[in-house]
Structure formats: C-alpha cells, structure tokens
C-alpha cells in the first residue's frame, strides 16, 4: 500500500496487529504500530525512538509506558492496540508480559476489553497462577463485564486442581 502511495488507515493497522498477534508475532506488531504513530501530527521522534529501543531491549513495561505518554500527549489514546497486545502475549505464552501490560493499563485507566480479560484469565489458569486469575476475574465483575460460563468454569476447575 505504502509503495503505491496509499496511506493505511488505523483500521488497517489494527487488522494487521490482530493477525500478527494471532500468530504469536507480538514484537513485530510494536514496530508496525510505531510506524503508524510516527504519522501523528507534531510527533516527537525521540520519544518514539525511545519506545522502540525499550521494546527491542526487552523492557516492555517502559515501552508501554512511553507509548501511553505519547498517546496521552497527542490526545489520540486508542485502547485497541493495547488490548490486541494483551491477547497476543497470552497467545504467545508470555502471560507474565500480559500481566505487566494489564497492570500498566489499569494504572493509566485505559479500558481493558472483556476478551482481553478472558485471555488473561485463561493464560493465568494454564500457568497455575490461579490466585491472580481470580483477582482478574473479580476485577471484571467490578467493571460490570458479563463473562460467559466457560470462563467461570475454567476458573473453578483450575481452583480445584490447584488445591
């Protein structure tokens, strides 16, 4: 698209992020999203470069915080990429990274989607981190999210197996 002079829309970027995360290629999605962020008007290239370097060096927490600062500064916060990454980390088996991302999003009061919470609960149950999964489940109830019975069943089964 870019080679042919077409500028991809945010919807195209989100679709690509989702497709890459489904394949467990979360790292590639950060680079792609930063390409989109660079197109924001009056963007701070140094801030974007710092986010990129943090992610490349494995400091995902600081990269996410930096990206959130950019989003807030530009008043262009879109929770979708963060939710896509949360799901992507879970699918890639990086539940620890997903949990860090969840905590940062909670701290910054960024909307976390019900599907993201479900994937995190499933990932935590799979990693035998059931107590944290229960906390996430309770968090979803506080937000008035209605989770389907399979989520509750998975959590209860994991609780029984962990005891």
The reported pLDDT for the residue numbered 160 is 86
Do residues 67 and 128 share a domain?
no
pLDDT in tens, the chain (163 residues): 767 888 888 899 899 999 998 888 888 898 888 888 888 777 788 898 999 999 889 898 999 999 999 888 877 788 999 999 999 999 999 999 999 999 999 999 999 999 999 999 999 999 999 999 999 999 999 999 988 888 888 888 988 888 6
Do residues 90 and 130 share a domain?
no
Domain residues for the domain of 137 are: 114-163
Do residues 81 and 156 share a domain?
no
**How many domains are contained in the chain?**
2
The reported pLDDT for the residue numbered 94 is 92
d(CA 40, CA 116): 26
Do residues 73 and 31 share a domain?
yes
d(CA 128, CA 96): 12
Residue count of the chain, please give it.
Answer: 163
Do residues 120 and 86 share a domain?
no
Do residues 86 and 42 share a domain?
yes
């Amino acid at each position: 698209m870019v080679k042919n002079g077409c500028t991809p829309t945010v919807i195209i970027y989100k679709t690509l992020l989702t497709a890459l995360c489904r394949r467990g290629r979360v790292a590639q999605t950060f680079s792609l999203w930063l390409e989109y962020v660079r197109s924001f008007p009056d963007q701070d290239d140094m801030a974007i470069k710092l986010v990129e370097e943090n992610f490349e060096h494995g400091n995902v927490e600081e990269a996410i915080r930096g990206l959130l600062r950019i989003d807030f500064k530009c008043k262009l916060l879109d929770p979708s990429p963060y939710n896509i990454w949360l799901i992507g980390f879970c699918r890639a088996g990086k539940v620890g990274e997903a949990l860090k991302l969840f905590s940062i999003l909670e701290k910054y009061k960024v909307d976390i989607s019900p599907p993201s919470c479900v994937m995190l609960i499933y990932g935590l149950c799979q990693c035998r981190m059931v107590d944290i999964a229960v906390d996430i489940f309770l968090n979803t109830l506080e937000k008035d999210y209605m989770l389907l019975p399979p989520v509750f069943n998975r959590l209860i089964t994991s609780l029984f197996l962990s005891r």
